[in-house]
Amino acid sequence: MIKFSTTKFLTICLIITLQQNLVLSKCGCEVETKEPNNKTSSLALKYKVIAIATTFVASLVGICIPILGQRFSFLNPENDLFFLPKAFAAGVILATGFIHILPEAFENLTNPCLSEKPWSMFPFTGFVAMVAAIGTLLLEAMVMGHLRRSELMKSQPLSSEDEAPHAVYGGQGHDHGHGHGHGHGIALDRSKSEKRLRNIIVSQILELGIIVHSIIIGISLGVSGNPKAIKPLLAALSFHQCFEGIGLGGSISQAQYKNVTTTIMVVLFCLTMPIGIGVGIGVSKVYDPHSQKALIVEGLLLAASGGVLIYMALVDLLATDFMDPKMLSRFKLQLGASFALLLGMSCMSLLALLGA
């Protein structure tokens, strides 16, 4: 009886030990990859080429909708109804930061393949996102402050010696009225100039954050050799790029760039993900997405772009529009903008369920 109990006990201990070893082996950093055969590789390459074409077309369609839509009253930036597509675009950008980018950054920077020190001792993802958001705020503030100081120096009133000749000829009353109107015109021009410059800064920083995100997604797709993983992403990534394009296009249309600058920004956005996919295809034989260096670089870039996009969506887009006097004075417009915001967030959240 004692012998049987001892044997049973040793057997149980052996089973527990084997289970622990199996669990630990699954938690390691080594990723088992099957060597793809020629058929699998060619099929994966076919899907990648299709992804290059579809993401380019989707990006082009999305970004051109608000830019070319200025010809229509609904999509004209000067129209009050333009608050609706802007709110939708802001919801897309906000969800992109919270749902798509930051979780992936957290996953990269907390990966068990990374050394415990320092990556497990400090929340680097949140820290980098915070620094990126604050850096964006400081950059905007410094540029706008420089513009304001420059405009104030240009609009300084004339000295008393310069005004004396006008008083001698008895034109004081006329000059006073003219000066008042001129001063009002300067203030109006200054306000328009500041608003346009702010829109320019917003559009450029927004495009930078989206470009970083799109390139990383493209490279990740390009290095994948599994056709079953690539195929479901084709439609999801196309919608993803289309929605982001709508958000960026609305910002570009408000900045009122010249045609050349607008074209450059459109082409740059449309080519980022296809270029990322192409780079991924080129380095797929040597690039290891699970290496420590790749995880750290991608994680830090994603965290920074996520912080920038979240700041831009909340501060530069939503707070500015939802606190606008036109919006506050019209309840139906508020309601419509709120619905558009939730719709944009829902669309991007749904894409996250599809794996995009």
Q: How many Cα atoms are found within 13 Å in the side-chain-facing hemisphere of 85?
A: 29
Under 8 Å between Cβ of 198 and 140 = yes
- What ranges in the chain are assigned the alpha helix state H? 2-26, 38-68, 83-95, 102-109, 116-119, 124-154, 160-168, 172-223, 227-230, 233-255, 259-283, 292-311, 320-322, 325-328, 331-353
Closest CA to 327 of 337, 339, 315, 312: 337
In a domain, 19, yes or no: no
Q: Per the structure block, which two tokens stand in for 2?
A: 């004692």
The pLDDT averaged over each successive group of 10 residues in the chain (356 residues) is 47 42 42 58 87 92 83 68 83 86 89 87 92 88 76 61 46 49 55 74 83 83 77 77 83 84 92 91 79 86 86 85 89 93 89 73
In angstroms, the CA 155 to CA 280 distance is 54
Give pLDDT, residue 155. 63
In a domain, 254, yes or no: yes
Give pLDDT, residue 100. 84
Q: Is 343 exposed, middle or buried (0-12, 13-18, 19+ CB in 10 A)?
A: middle
How many structural domains comprise the chain?
1
Give pLDDT, residue 341. 93
| Peptide bond connecting 165 to the previous residue in cis, omega within 30 degrees of 0 | no
In a domain, 85, yes or no: yes
CA quadruple 77, 79, 83, 89: dihedral, nearest 10: -30
Q: Per the structure block, which two tokens stand in for 26?
A: 């699954």
DSSP per residue, 271-289: HHHHHHHHHHHHHTTT--T
Give pLDDT, residue 160. 47
Q: Is 312 exposed, middle or buried (0-12, 13-18, 19+ CB in 10 A)?
A: buried
In a domain, 186, yes or no: no
Host domain of residue 324: 43-72+80-153+192-353
For the chain, what's the residue count? 356
How many CB atoms sit inside 10 A of residue 188's CB?
10
Give pLDDT, residue 331. 92
Closest CA to 65 of 47, 39, 84, 42: 84
Phi, psi of 194 (to 5 degrees): -65, -40
In angstroms, the CA 97 to CA 313 distance is 9
Is the model's pTM score more than 0.85? no
In a domain, 206, yes or no: yes
In angstroms, the CA 38 to CA 32 distance is 19
DSSP state of 169: T
In a domain, 265, yes or no: yes
In a domain, 101, yes or no: yes
Give pLDDT, residue 221. 82
Under 8 Å between Cβ of 114 and 296 = yes
Q: Is 110 exposed, middle or buried (0-12, 13-18, 19+ CB in 10 A)?
A: middle
DSSP per residue, 114-135: S-HHHHTTS-HHHHHHHHHHHH
In angstroms, the CA 38 to CA 42 distance is 6
* Ramachandran region, residue 115 (left: φ > 0; alpha: ψ -120 to 50; beta: rest): beta
In a domain, 179, yes or no: no
